[in-house]
Amino acid sequence: MKRTLYILIMYTLFTACNSDISIDRQLDAEADIFPDYKEITIPCNIAPMCFQLNDAKGIDTRLIIEGGNEKIQVKGEDGDFDIPIDKWHKLLAANRDADLQFIVCRLEDGKWAAYRPFTMHVASDSIDSYLAYRLIPPGYGLWNAMGIYQRCLESFEETPIMENRQTEYNCMNCHTFQSQNPKKMCFHLRGNHGGSVLVRSGRVEKLNPEFPDTIKGIAYPAWHPYADYIAFSSNRVAQSFFVHHRQRIEVFDTRSDAVVLDIARNRVITAPELSSTRDWETWPAFSADGKTLYYSTAPIVEPMPQEYKKVHFSVCTIGFDPESGTFGQQVDTLFNAGDSLSFNYPRESPDGRWLVYNRQECGYFPINHKESDLWLRDQKTGETRPLEAANSNDCESYHTWSHNSHWLGFSSRRIDGLYVCPYFTHIDDNGQATKAFIMPQRHPRTFYDNQLNSYNIPEFITDAVEVSQHTIAETVW
């Protein structure tokens, strides 16, 4: 009897604390929240867009989410709203191409007061289910632990693809996938056990091609959309630090060429136009149809780093025949840098409709340039314009296209100017971008305040990489 009474009392208290509320009055103010998810467009399959009401410690709070005939009420813990994932996905499914309304409430003098509501638009376009990235401390010379990880964007699950504790804590970087396919992956190892690791349908191999004498190493890869080719740059990378400057570092090359690795024949392909002794060539990437290679190029400037401001990269194209594995002989300049700008990291959407690239003042490493912005080119008309809704007052870079060409993921330092975090923006049929939002976390304020790593090179993939770390490590060793 006592046990039954105890259970009844606890159930009554629990349901009373979590029962739906009624709004007593409206506040003439907007809710101050982190992250800023107000008036954004979100995918129809994204994880719950949890957020925190700032300065709400010790205050009773509620969140009401309404869409169509569906409604969710969430109790806040110090203003932290943990939205139930099952109810959230049900809400998204019922409101494709419609708006969700968010009402944040706080208890004042025993009555519930509501801030002005805001909305999130649910796009009918889904986002790729996973994002792969490297996590690395934001230092520039010293590091220890790092790894390549994958995050399910439909939930909050993050799992390692490969951690460098498996390979004697060497450096690993520059991962790439063929057309967002998690079964076809390549990444590079430096130092101990160095080399490029190729993963194809569960099989792992270490690439060991014969390099020409002029090529000493490869980096910055981009896989061909359907054939067994991976474009790389062959760089000798250096870096210089500023003492008093809005930038902390300038990354530059002492030499750089563009090459293509023929996986099937285990050989490296290049061309005179891609390996000039008078120019630097970097950031190669194939077009959506696989018949063009984009790359950035600049005349060699000396001495470096003293003359870093004179380094200006243009974006050029050269034809590529995937059947024969040969380059054309004509180079076309898509964006001419002149002596005042620099264009880098060209990436064409999978449908071939758009090209997004970085525009900055000088150099080729946009993630370290605060002025670096994302620009879009209409491949039909040739019109170019900045993605104003996605850009910020800090650097944007490392953009990646979803397989349906409607979501762009990218890296940004906009939170604090130090740590690089992943953001997403929707690209509509007219090439217009929406307000960008940071990758959702279950408790975002706590998570991002305590995240001591930067997200490096986010890449969309349509599913999880399933090959185990142990299998990769066995091959590497």
Cβ atoms of residues 373 and 388 within 8 Å: no
Altogether, the residues listed in the chain come to a count of 477
φ and ψ at 53, to 5 degrees?
A: -80, 120
Q: Among all chains, which residue has been given the structure tokens 């008078």?
A: 278
| Per-residue model confidence (pLDDT) at position 30 | 97
Which residues have C-beta within 8 Å of that of residue 29, sequence separation ≥ 6? 115, 116
SS (H, E, C) the chain: CHHHHHHHHHHHHHHHHHCCCCCCEEEEEECCEECCCCCEEECCCCCCCCEEECCCCCCCEEEEEEECCEEEEEEEECCEECCCHHHHHHHHHCCCCEEEEEEEEEEECCEEEEEECEEEEECCCCCCCEEEEEEECCCCCCCCCCEEEEEECCCCCEEEEEEHHHHCCCEEEEEEEECCEEEEEEEEEECCCCEEEEEECCEEEEECCECCCCCCCCEEEEECCCCCEEEEEEEEEEEEECCCCCCCEEEEEEEEEEEEEECCCCEEECCHHHCCCCEEEEEEEECCCCCEEEEEEEECCCCCCCCHHHCCCEEEEEEEECCCCEEEEEEEEEECCCCCCEEEEEEECCCCCEEEEEEECCCCCHHHCCCCEEEEEECCCCCEEECCCCCCCCCEEEEEECCCCCEEEEEECCCCCCCCEEEEEEECCCCCECCCEECCCCCHHHHHHHCCCEEEEEEEECCCCCCCHHHHHHHHC
What CATH number does domain 211-465 carry, 2.120.10, 1.10.3470, 3.90.550, 2.60.120?
2.120.10
Question: How far apart are alpha carbons 205 and 87 in whole angstroms?
Answer: 43
Q: In degrees to the nearest 10, what's the CA dihedral of 432, 435, 438, 444? A: -150
Report CA-CA distances (Å) from 145 to 237, 340, 375, 445, 455. 21, 39, 34, 24, 14
Domains 23-122 and 211-465 share a fold: no
CATH 3.30.1490 fits 23-122, yes or no: no
| Per-residue model confidence (pLDDT) at position 17 | 45
Report CA-CA distances (Å) from 410 to 148, 378, 437, 462. 16, 19, 10, 17
- Residue 305 C-beta-side C-alpha neighbours within 13 Å: 14
Domain segments of the chain as ranges? 23-122, 211-465
**pTM attached to this predicted model:** 0.93
| Per-residue model confidence (pLDDT) at position 245 | 66
Q: Among all chains, which residue has been given the structure tokens 């194939």?
A: 286
Tokens standing for residue 245: 């400057």
Strands 342-348 and 267-269: unpaired
Report CA-CA distances (Å) from 135 to 148, 158, 167, 377, 415. 6, 12, 16, 30, 17
Q: What is the pLDDT along the chain (477 residues), one digit of tens a residue?
A: 444 444 333 333 333 345 799 999 999 999 999 999 999 999 999 999 999 999 999 999 999 999 999 999 999 999 999 999 999 999 999 999 999 999 999 999 999 999 999 999 999 999 999 999 999 988 666 678 899 999 999 999 999 999 999 988 888 888 999 999 999 999 988 877 888 899 998 899 988 776 666 666 678 899 999 999 999 998 888 777 776 666 777 888 888 999 999 998 888 899 999 999 999 999 999 999 999 999 999 999 999 999 989 999 999 999 999 999 999 999 999 999 999 899 999 999 999 999 999 999 999 888 888 999 999 999 999 999 999 999 999 999 999 999 999 999 999 999 988 899 999 999 999 999 999 999 999 999 999 999 999 999 999 999 999 999 999 999 988
Question: How far apart are alpha carbons 43 and 439 in whole angstroms?
Answer: 12
Question: How far apart are alpha carbons 394 and 373 in whole angstroms?
Answer: 8
| Per-residue model confidence (pLDDT) at position 244 | 64
Cβ atoms of residues 247 and 236 within 8 Å: no
| Per-residue model confidence (pLDDT) at position 190 | 82
- List 171's β-bridge partners, or say none: 190
